[in-house]
């Protein structure tokens, strides 16, 4: 099975590495980052794991900057930042054959719509992951938190391609389930990111740190509760019975991880704030639901984006 991953950041690299251990054909990683591509092709991809003393080097991978060299895949997984989804799929069009499923496991709202600008909606599978990974440098990541991957067809069917993808992921050690409620799934995960990402980006704490401070645990609950109200107004059927408790569980399970938004702020990169807390604010406004905590978090993260805050915070 030929797998292509668009976006070789922390999560794309993690899935690429794990899947490369169970595929005969090398997993292809497509990314614009030249140093990452060079390093992976020269020395493989090194994965540190918080639960094992020795890092593991994965070599059944090929990295590319240009999709032309790859050819059509049997499965494409999209892992670029949600702000770049539409552009990345357009640029990577050559890796999609007539029947290639496009799987998005990205954070935030709007990824399906971004993919559908280039590909038919029937080619899209969506899902979420509670895995956590940190990019340490070219060719090196840390697997800092384990959690379930859940995937589903947009029409709720349990298709052979869905089962095949879930089987493959499970064989690779990425615990995966299938869901018939993909919209609920995306909102379940959105609410986790609403509670964790902006707060960790603002405080510079690892995910687990949010649970150690009462004030932050309260803000986490308030941000998620606003999101739950918006989901309710939109008629979204969440799969998770208690999203605040669930977010706290993910915080604990990925306690050692720096959230993707904190990693972005520390590296001076744009964040996914508009697709996460900003999305709650927008959707809330459309449905007449106030979301002040998400509003404040969105503004604070945008401030840190603008000031290029780095490790020590803004000057
Ligand atoms: O964006 C992230 O960092 C991840 O989705 C999660 C699950 C919050 C773990 O850090």
**What is the mean pLDDT, run by run of 10 residues, along the chain of 315 residues?**
97 98 98 98 96 94 96 98 97 97 97 98 96 94 91 98 98 97 96 98 96 97 98 97 96 91 93 98 97 98 86 58
pLDDT number for residue 273: 98
pLDDT tens across 265-287, in order?
999 999 999 999 999 999 999 99
pLDDT number for residue 138: 98
pLDDT tens across 182-210, in order?
999 999 999 999 999 999 999 999 999 99
Kind of pairing, strands 132-137 and 27-30? unpaired
Choose the residue to mutate in 147, 207, 227, 261 for probing ligand 1, maximizing ligand atoms within 8 Å of C-beta.
Answer: 207
Residues in the chain: 315
Choose the residue to mutate in 250, 253, 266, 275 for probing ligand 1, maximizing ligand atoms within 8 Å of C-beta.
Answer: 250
pLDDT number for residue 79: 98
pLDDT number for residue 132: 86
Nearest ligand 1 atom to alpha carbon 196: 8
Query: Exposure string (b/e) for 204-227, b if CB count within 10 Å is 16 or more?
Result: bbbbbbbbeeeebbebbbbbbbbb
In the annotation, is 189 catalytic? Answer: yes
Domains of the chain: 3-180 (3.40.50.720), 184-307 (1.10.1040.10)
Phi first, then psi: give them for residue 175, nearest 5 degrees: -55, 120
Q: Is 16 in the pocket of ligand 1 (CB under 6 A)?
A: no
Of residues 2, 146, 189, 267, which has the active-site annotation? 189
Q: Is 247 in the pocket of ligand 1 (CB under 6 A)?
A: no
Q: Is 259 in the pocket of ligand 1 (CB under 6 A)?
A: yes
Q: Is 132 in the pocket of ligand 1 (CB under 6 A)?
A: yes
Closest residue to atom 10 of ligand 1, CA basis: 259
Q: Is 198 in the pocket of ligand 1 (CB under 6 A)?
A: no
Q: Is 128 in the pocket of ligand 1 (CB under 6 A)?
A: no
Choose the residue to mutate in 107, 127, 133 for probing ligand 1, maximizing ligand atoms within 8 Å of C-beta.
Answer: 107
Q: Is 196 in the pocket of ligand 1 (CB under 6 A)?
A: yes
CA proximity to 103, closest of 11, 206, 197: 11
Compute, in angstroms, the gap from residue 307 CA to the centroid of ligand 1. 23
pLDDT number for residue 254: 87
CA–CA distance from 133 to each of 11, 14, 49 (Å)? 6, 7, 9
pLDDT number for residue 251: 93
pLDDT number for residue 284: 98
pLDDT number for residue 310: 65
Closest residue to atom 7 of ligand 1, CA basis: 130
């Amino acid at each position: 099975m030929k797998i292509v991953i668009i976006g070789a950041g922390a999560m794309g690299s993690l899935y690429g590495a794990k899947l490369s251990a169970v595929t005969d054909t090398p997993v292809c990683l497509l990314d614009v980052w030249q140093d990452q591509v060079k390093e992976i092709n020269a020395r493989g991809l090194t994965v540190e794991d918080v639960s094992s003393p020795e890092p593991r080097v994965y070599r059944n991978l090929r990295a590319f900057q240009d999709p032309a060299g790859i050819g059509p895949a049997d499965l494409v997984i999209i892992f670029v930042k949600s702000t770049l989804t539409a552009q990345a799929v357009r640029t990577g069009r050559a890796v999609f054959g007539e029947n290639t499923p496009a799987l998005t496991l990205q954070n935030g709202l709007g990824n399906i719509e971004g993919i559908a600008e280039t590909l038919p909606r029937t080619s899209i599978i969506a899902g979420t992951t509670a895995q956590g990974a940190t990019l340490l440098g070219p060719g090196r990541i840390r697997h800092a938190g384990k959690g379930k991957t859940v995937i589903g067809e947009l029409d709720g069917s349990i298709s052979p391609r869905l089962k095949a993808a879930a089987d493959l992921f499970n064989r690779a050690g990425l615990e995966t389930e299938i869901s018939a409620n993909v919209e609920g799934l995306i909102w379940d995960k959105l609410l986790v990111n609403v509670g964790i990402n902006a707060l960790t980006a603002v405080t510079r704490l690892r995910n687990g740190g949010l649970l150690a401070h009462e004030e932050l645990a309260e803000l986490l609950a308030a941000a998620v509760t606003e999101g739950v109200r918006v989901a309710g107004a939109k008629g979204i059927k969440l799969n998770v019975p208690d999203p605040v408790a669930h977010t706290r569980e993910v915080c604990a399970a990925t306690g050692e991880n720096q959230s993707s938004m904190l990693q972005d702020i520390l590296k001076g990169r744009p964040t996914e704030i508009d697709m996460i807390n900003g999305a709650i604010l927008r959707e809330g406004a459309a449905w007449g639901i106030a979301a002040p905590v998400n509003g404040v978090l969105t503004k604070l993260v945008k401030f840190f984006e603008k000031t290029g805050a780095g490790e020590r915070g803004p000057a």
